[in-house]
Amino acid sequence: MAQHAIFLSGPIGVGKTTLGRAFAERLSGGFIDGDDYSDPDRPWYCSVLQTSRAIVQAGMTILKSRDAVVIAYPLGCINWIYFRRTFGDAGVVPLFVALRASYPSIVDERRGRTFSSEERERIQIMIAEGYRARPFSDLVLDTDRASFLATLAQLEREIRRLIPS
């Protein structure tokens, strides 16, 4: 069976980390939060290559003992090309899932997360820049149409459909 690197992309607050952790557990896979590998002292656009390399290294380490790794990280086209090529060259099948939700849903206090004004501004920018549905995505999933557990179940169904047994 092939190994898989499953990327969950989307704007801040859409559910990448929360869904990613739960989904990795269901797959008995590993989980990586891409934010854990970014340089907090530099803007994201100054450290994207360093972050991407660190994510690949961590992913390959996890894949030494597991068949899948779930990676929560907002992807642009350059990231997608890098991850597709780097994991692919290592024999790992990458899958790319775009998570989307409306801005009002993302910032709704009932979701249990409070955002700073800077984060709110960045969410709007990311939505405008198309992070909710990248054309290179293998799957686009709405995170604000059903409960968390129903969304998680849908993610699992759709990914299992994409991964040959």
Please give the chain's pLDDT, 165 residues, in tens: 689 999 999 999 999 999 999 999 999 999 999 999 987 777 666 778 889 999 999 999 999 999 999 999 999 999 999 999 999 999 999 999 999 999 999 999 988 899 999 999 999 999 999 988 889 999 999 999 999 999 999 999 999 999 876
Give the per-residue SS3 of 97-150: EEEECCHHHHHCHHHCCCCCHHHHHHHHHHHHCCCCCCCCCCEEEECCCCCHHH
8: Cα within 13 Å, side-chain hemisphere: 31
pLDDT of residue 133: 86
